[in-house]
Structure 1
Amino acid sequence: MTSDAIDVAAELTRLEVLTNFELRSEWRRLHGMQPPKSLSRDLLLRGITYKIQERAFGGLSKSVLRRLSGAVPDVPRGVTRKATQALVKPGTRLVREWNGQTHTVLVHTDGVEWRGKRYRSLSVVAREITGAHWSGPRFFGLDGRSK
């Protein structure tokens, strides 16, 4: 065992006997900020343990951090995300009336079919029907919003 591993093991053993008040103080020391008020003892221990291990063995690599920072775009507080896409099984027929005409689209595994012609997405079909840029799933009522 390396000396780093021994030091980490000793630190983890020391943490087990600390009171919640002392754990919160340890969190402030390691994280440089107050711990969330509703954090359980278990989560306090996990957060502190992670920081101790990170200091002893190093944190995430720059490439992983870069990938993670681009993985989830910033969302303002209070804004909830919607599901990315409604799953529609191949063979499903979507029907929409537009300007007095009924339009039927057949869903395939690699796109959709409308009026006997294949298209790569519902949005392309919606643009063909309306002449304007539309979200295909929204146009065909798949996003949960009412028309």
Structure 2
Amino acid sequence: MAREIASLSALDAETLRQRWKALIGADPAPYLGRSFMVRALAYRLQERALGGLKPAAQRLLDRIGDGRAELVEERIPKRRASAGTVLIREWRGVSYRVTVLDNDVVYRGRRYKSLSEVARVITGTHWSGPLFFGLKRRSKEAANG
């Protein structure tokens, strides 16, 4: 597969169009640029060898393509802590409690402007407060949490 993908950039325009028709199943649009066609064909080759999108993602894209998707309804609501919420976070074996108020937060009897300010007090480094307290998902788990 790697050799086949690498060889795409060496193909002339007509051969690229033939490969497009063979892999995609239709003639490419006349305005498609060479670099786009090479990238799209490389993707298709990888897709065939390694698998494509998950079915749920494909269904969503199909609905969007058909104009049937209401993107506003598909959005995932943000996780927020309302006033009165108590957030508990364990950090390096110690449990920390923060109470959320309307415009600030309370930690150890003292008011702070934000969760980030509290996270900085706890860890000694800059942290996103919502991330530290689990209100925002991490792309990668912190190693020392």
**TM-score normalized with structure 2 length:** 0.43
> Highest Rg: 1 or 2?
1
Name the TM-score, length of structure 1 as normaliser: 0.43
